[in-house]
Amino acid sequence: MSKFLELEAGYLVIGLLIMLITLFVGSRPMFKKGAAPRALLVVGFILAIFIALHHNVTTSRMAEVKQAFSEGKDVICESRATRKVAQSVTVNINKEWTLNGDVFASPNYSRVFHTARCILPIGRVKN
């Protein structure tokens, strides 16, 4: 559950805002009585599906990244520190990178990278 909250906290907040907007709009006088609860059910169901799908896609990609890293393959991680040049960092077990839980770290690099922000290079993705 903690991994779900860690990965999806931003989307849960956005979903809450969407639910509040749905409640506000659904409770306006131009809609029939009882429209707000039905709208909340429909929107909540759709949001739950999208958030669950996002979680499943993210965790499966994280598993693929961890497996590729343990096999000595390159992994590309997003670097948010620099937006102009070198927006990605190549992580490899042979270049002194370690995997601690879901986080890549290296003594030669000042930042750590969460596996949720990493991908496999094109052409090395499993089919």
pLDDT digits (tens, 9 = 90+) for 5-41: 888 889 999 999 999 999 999 888 888 888 889 999 9
- Using the predicted structure, report yes or no on whether residue 3 has a pLDDT greater than 90: no
Burial state string for 53-86 with b = 16 or more CB within 10 A and e = fewer than 16: eeeeebbebbebbbebbeeebebbbebeeeeeee
Least confident of 39-53, 78-92, 108-122: 78-92
Going from the C-alpha of 61 to that of each of 31, 32, 42, 79, 112, the distances in angstroms are: 43, 44, 29, 18, 18
Q: What is the CA 127 to chain-centroid distance, rounded? A: 21
E strands, the chain, where? 75-78, 88-91, 98-100, 103-105, 113-114, 118-119
What does the pLDDT read at residue 57?
93
pLDDT tens digits for range 93-105: 888 899 998 899 9
Say whether pLDDT at 86 is over 80: no
Structure tokens at 16: 């809450």
Average pLDDT, the chain: 87
The predicted model gives 83-89 an average pLDDT of: 68
pLDDT over threshold 80, residue 83:
no
**Which of 33-37, 62-66, 119-123 tops mean pLDDT?**
62-66
Q: What is the per-residue pLDDT for 126?
A: 55
Q: Decide if pLDDT at 81 tops 70.
A: no
